[in-house]
Amino acid sequence: MQSSGLESSENYRVVGKIGLDDNYILGCGARSHVCMGYFEDVEWSAAIRVMDNSSDTAYEIWKKEVRILRKMTNTDKNQNIIAYRGSEELGKQLFIAMELADTTLQQLITQIFPVTSHNFPPPSMNEIRMYCHQICKGISALHSYGIVHSNIKPSNVLIFLTGITSGRNCTIAKVSDLGLRKTLSDSAINIKSSTKGTQSYMSPECIRALYKGEQFISTKASDIFSLGLTLFYAVTRGAHPYGLPIYQAGNLYKAELNFDALSGPVALLDFYNLITPMLTVDMPQERPTCKAILTHPCFWSTNKRQRFIIQTADFVSTRKGKKCEKSIMKNGCQLIGKGWKNHILDVVKILRKERAQYMTAENYSTTSIVDLIKFIRNQYAHFFEKCKEFQNFFGNDREVLYMTYFETKFPFLLPFLYIHLQNFKSDFQQFYANPEEVMYFPALPKTHSSYID
C-alpha cells in the first residue's frame, strides 16, 4: 500500500471522509485537478479529483459521473476501469476519491517519472501486449454501458502495481480520466472547450469539427480511433502515426498517417493488422468494434494460437477447405521466399537423423505455406513419439516452447492466416467476434517482399 504522505503535511484539508493536500498536485485537466489525499482513513491513500464549480451545468455533469462510477466499481467486468472510492460535496464543489495509481502508460514508455513516483523498468513486449489488451477491455466495458470516453490517450491509462513475482513487478492497466465521457444519448461535446492538449489523440472527424468551430457528436467509433493511436504509441514505444510533435498539427488537419513504425519490424505484424483498421480515416463505421478487437490474435493465449494453426491445417485438408487452401497458396508465396525449411534447420537435422516419416522431402514442399502449416500440426500431434533429442530441444514443454519457436521463425504466419480465414468465419466461430460482421482486418503491409529471407 502506498503512503498518502498526508500524515506529515500541514497543507491538507478534510471534507467529510476525504482528506486532500491542495499543494500536492498529481495532474490538471480542463475542468478539474487531481491531488494527493485519502478516503476514510489517512492510511488509505487515494487520488482526489477536485471539480470546478464554475456553473450549475458542470456540477450536474460531475454528479452524473459519480453515479456512473459508483455503478461500475468493483465488478470483474470493469477491473480495467479506475475504481471509485467515494465522493463529498462542499457547496457546489465536488470531490471524488479514486484509487491511486503508481504510474501512467506514458511515463512507463518514456521512462520519465515524477520525483515523487517510483521508477519502473522499461516494459517487455509481453507486458505491453498485456497492457494493450487491458486498455481495450476497459474501453469495451465503458461501451457496454453505452458510454464513450472521449479522451483516450497514454497519460489517461494508469498502471497499478499489484505485487512482485520472481523479482519482477506485477501490474495492471486501467482507463482513467472519465470526466469528458458522455452517454451515447448525451454525447455532444463542445470541441472548443473540451479538447485542450489532447488533439493528437483525436479522431479525424473530431479534428474537422474543431477546425470548423462546430459541435462534435462523440461516438464509439471516435473512441476506437483514439484507442488505436494509444495502442500504436505503446507497441512502438513512443511513436505516433502523425509523426513528431512539430509535424503533428499539419498531419492532423490533413489526416495523413504513417504506419512505418508498425510495418517495419516483423515482430509487430499482428499489431499492424489490428491497429490500421482502427485508424480508418474517412469511414468511421468501418473501424472494428471492441468485441472484434478483443478477439484479434494479438491477444490470444499460446494455447489458442496453437489450436488455430491446427484447425487451419485440418480445414484445408477437407473438401470444403480447398477454396481456402487455394487462397492461402496464392497469397502466401511471397511470404515463404526461398523455402521455410531453411529457417528451421536445427529441427530438420534432428528429424532427419531419426528418419521420421513426418519430415521427408516428398511429404513437404519447402515452398508451400500450406505444407508449413501441416508440418507444424503434425510435429505437434506426434511430439511425444519423437526422439528424446527432439523433445529436449523444446524443453519437453510442447504447450509453450513449441509454438513460441515457430512463431519466432515465422512471425507473419498467424496474422496472415487470420486475414485469409475471415472469408470462412462460420467454420472458425471460436476465433472471430461474429461470423456475420464485416471483414475489418487488412492484408499485411507490402513493404516486405519476403518475411523470412
Confidence of residue 184 (pLDDT cuts 50, 70, 90): very low
Confidence tier at 81 by pLDDT (50, 70, 90):
very high
For residue 334, being part of any structural domain is answered with yes
Residues 286, 184 within the same domain? yes
* Percent of the chain's residues with pLDDT above 90: 32
Q: Report yes or no: 150 and 223 within 8 Å, Cβ to Cβ.
A: yes
Report yes or no on 60 lying in a domain.
Answer: yes
pLDDT confidence tier of residue 43, bands split at 50, 70 and 90: confident
In a domain, 89, yes or no: yes
Which of 49-63, 220-234, 242-256, 291-305 is the most confident on average?
220-234
pLDDT tens for residues 228-248? 999 999 999 999 999 887 777
Q: Are 160 and 171 in contact, with CB atoms under 8 Å apart?
A: yes
Report residue 111's pLDDT band, with 50, 70 and 90 as the boundaries: very high
Q: Which DSSP category does 424 fall into?
A: G
Domain-embedded: residue 440: no
pTM score, whole prediction: 0.86
> Phi and psi at residue 18, in whole multiples of 5°?
-105, 135
Q: Is residue 225 part of a domain?
A: yes
Check pLDDT > 60 for residue 205.
yes
Structural domain ending residue among the three candidates 100, 128, 153 = 100
Task: State the total domains in the chain.
Answer: 3
Q: What is the band of 377 on the pLDDT scale with cuts at 50, 70, 90?
A: very high
210 and 198 in a common domain: yes
pLDDT grade for 74, boundaries at 50, 70 and 90? low
Lowest mean pLDDT of 214-223, 247-256, 311-320, 443-452, name the range. 443-452
Residue 386 pLDDT grade (very low, low, confident, very high; cuts 50, 70, 90): confident
The average pLDDT across 161-168 equals 77
**Cα 330 from Cα 301, distance rounded (Å):** 29
- Is 441 a member of any domain? no
Kindly state the average pLDDT of the residues 400-414: 85
Does residue 342 have a pLDDT over 80? yes
Residues 288 and 313 in one domain: no
Using CA atoms, how far residue 123 sits from 103, 156, 244, 375, in Å, is 12, 17, 22, 34
Find the domain containing 53 and state its range: 1-100
In this structure, are 108 and 49 located in the same domain?
A: no
Strand partners, 35: 25, 48
Residues 31 and 121 occupy one common structural domain? no
C-beta atoms surrounding 170 within 10 Å: 12
Same domain membership, residue 69 and residue 119: no
Beta-sheet pairing, 12-15 with 147-148: unpaired
Express each pLDDT in 284-308 by its tens digit: 999 999 999 999 999 999 899 999 9
For cell 492497466, the residue is: 173
Q: 109 near 94, Cβ under 8 Å?
A: no
> If you average pLDDT over every residue of the chain, what do you get?
82
Sequence length of the chain is 453
Report DSSP letters for 321-342, one per residue.
THHHHHHHHHHHHHHHTT-SGG
Greater confidence (312 vs 450) lies with: 312
190 and 262 co-located in one domain: yes
The string of DSSP codes covering 375-421 is HHHHHHHTGGGS-HHHHHHTTT-TTTHHHHHHHHH-TTHHHHHHHHG
pLDDT, position 445: 62
pLDDT of residue 298: 92
192 plus 266 within the same structural domain: yes
pLDDT score, position 334: 72
